[in-house]
Amino acid sequence: MKLAGALAALVVMAGLAGLAISSATAAPASKPAAQQAGAKQATVKKTAKQAPDKQAAREATAKQAARRPAATRTASKRSPSKDSATPRVAPEAASRDAQAKSKETANGTSKGPSKGTGKPRFASKIPQGGHADAGAAAALAGAGLGAKAVQASLHESAPEPAGTLSIGEAIGLHRVPDPLALRSAVALVVDSRTGEILYDKNSNAVLPIASITKVMTAMVVLDARQPLDEKVVVEDEDRDTERYSASRLPVGTVLTRGELLQLALMSSENRAASALARNYPGGMAAFVTAANRKAAAIGMRDSVFMDGTGLSSSNVSTARDLAVMVAHAARYPLISRYSTASDLSVRTAHGHRTFRTTNRMVGSSDWDLTLQKTGYINESGNCLVMRGSVDGRSLILVLLDSYGRYSRLGDAQRIRRWLEG
């Protein structure tokens, strides 16, 4: 009987040690970074068989627990993960903050179409932050970034199959009701003169912004004061090797910096935006650093930029931050002019081609646009930012993660009709 009891004690001690190791391994999932990542909960496997003598097992367990300090009964050493230096956040969990905001809105805290409900952060002190990925941290050195945006930008940005849920759909933002029944998961309307928020739906959700990124690209390029008439060559490295999207701008095309800037803003040409960023003083790494410094300087606390095109879903922001960006971009006459142009004919490596705007509302008297940009990747859904006027009132409109290509335009019209009363 004594031998049986001793054997049982050894088995139970082994079980306790295994459970402690499993608990310690699963523990990081409760930390904020892992919650942001939306990592799957670890499955704890049983590591010990039931002791044959249950009474002896219970006695041995009690004795063993009494010998150890309380602090050591639930903790053990954990082997470092090979991915611990460069954590990655899954696309379906890009923004815990966005999910929390959607719950608040569902509980009745959404501002909805109410006037005089607050002002966007057009100027505020930016807390210093850092990027968890070692390579990105070097590129983002000196930029003050919000922790939510940094963590949201760390998710994998590999190409996703057609029909994949956007981030907004995956975290339930589309299920948040709004009085206008918009098809966009996020909507924000701001009076550009007073900063008054007129309509707000999930405006703090941190989401991928796709080609809306190109507005920041234009500001950074113009800030560098590089000659707009300087010739720039579209090279092979400007091809989209992340999503393999099509382009009407052949490799080998030689255009002026000004022409590339207009094609990036008006037609959302990715190769044009890539060539601009690549030819920034210091190259692509210097461009990324400059973009994030610019974002921090103007008050975009929850935004991260990782390229100049928006093809990377690690480029993230909020509707409030984008309203700030549009307000500042409107101070650049060329951005206003190029983004609201209807077409541009240029000589490419394959002959003359005419490029047209991606926004059908350009030229419409309904909005009298002074700045606009569209965007789309799988993770972001269809996006739109605009600055225009309704009933003589200057407004900034941000729509993110809309279901269809034209639903963002329909949402803009619904908002306009509501504003007109």
DSSP secondary structure of 13-48: HHHHHHHHHHHHHHGGGGSHHHHHHTPPPPPPPP-S
**pLDDT of res. 152:** 55
**pLDDT of res. 119:** 40
CA angle 401, 150, 383 (to 5 degrees): 15
Q: What mean pLDDT is reported for the chain?
A: 74
Kindly report which listed range (91-100, 200-209, 231-240, 370-379) carries the lowest average pLDDT score. Answer: 91-100
Region 132-143 average pLDDT: 42
**pLDDT of res. 146:** 57
Among 313, 304, 324, residue whose Cα is nearest residue 143: 304
**pLDDT of res. 122:** 39
Q: Is the pLDDT of residue 134 over 60?
A: no
Distance CA 305, CA 284 (A): 12
Q: Which CATH superfamily is domain 91-420 in?
A: DD-peptidase/beta-lactamase superfamily (3.40.710.10)
Q: Is the pLDDT of residue 108 over 50?
A: no
Query: The tokens 């941190």 sit on which residue?
Result: 206
2 is catalytic: no
> With DSSP H G I counted as helix, E B as strand and the rest as coil, what are the percentages for the chain, rounded to 5?
40, 15, 45
Evaluate whether 47 touches 15 at the Cβ level (below 8 Å).
yes
Residue pLDDT, tens place only, 265-312? 999 999 999 999 999 999 999 999 999 999 999 999 999 999 999 999
Evaluate whether 384 touches 366 at the Cβ level (below 8 Å).
no
Between 24 and 375, whose confidence is greater?
Answer: 375
So where are the chain's domains?
A: 2-38+45-72, 91-420
Among 175, 113, 129, residue whose Cα is nearest residue 401: 175
Between 145 and 158, whose confidence is greater?
Answer: 145
Q: Is the pLDDT of residue 89 over 80?
A: no
Q: Is the pLDDT of residue 330 over 70?
A: yes
Residue 305 C-alpha from the chain's centroid: 9
Percent of the chain residues topping a pLDDT of 70: 61
Kindly report which listed range (24-28, 173-177, 339-343) carries the lowest average pLDDT score. Answer: 24-28
Q: 371 - beta bridge partners?
A: 387
The active-site residue, picked from 95, 166, 268, 313, is 268
CA angle 308, 129, 38 (to 5 degrees): 80
Query: The tokens 């701001």 sit on which residue?
Result: 190
CA angle 263, 266, 272 (to 5 degrees): 25
- Tokens matching residue 85: 């230096």
Q: Is the pLDDT of residue 315 over 80?
A: yes
The active-site residue, picked from 211, 267, 339, 402, is 211
**pLDDT of res. 79:** 34
Region 191-212 average pLDDT: 97
SS3 70: helix
**pLDDT of res. 328:** 98
Region 198-217 average pLDDT: 98
Distance CA 380, CA 400 (A): 7
**pLDDT of res. 364:** 85
Region 236-241 average pLDDT: 96
The active-site residue, picked from 148, 201, 214, 373, is 214
313 is catalytic: no
**pLDDT of res. 192:** 95
**pLDDT confidence tier of residue 331, bands split at 50, 70 and 90:** very high
Sorted by sequence, the CB contacts under 8 Å of residue 337 that are 6+ apart come out as none
Region 180-190 average pLDDT: 96
110 is catalytic: no
**pLDDT of res. 151:** 57
**pLDDT of res. 118:** 41
- Choose from 23-27, 36-40, 111-115, 174-178 the range with maximum mean pLDDT: 174-178
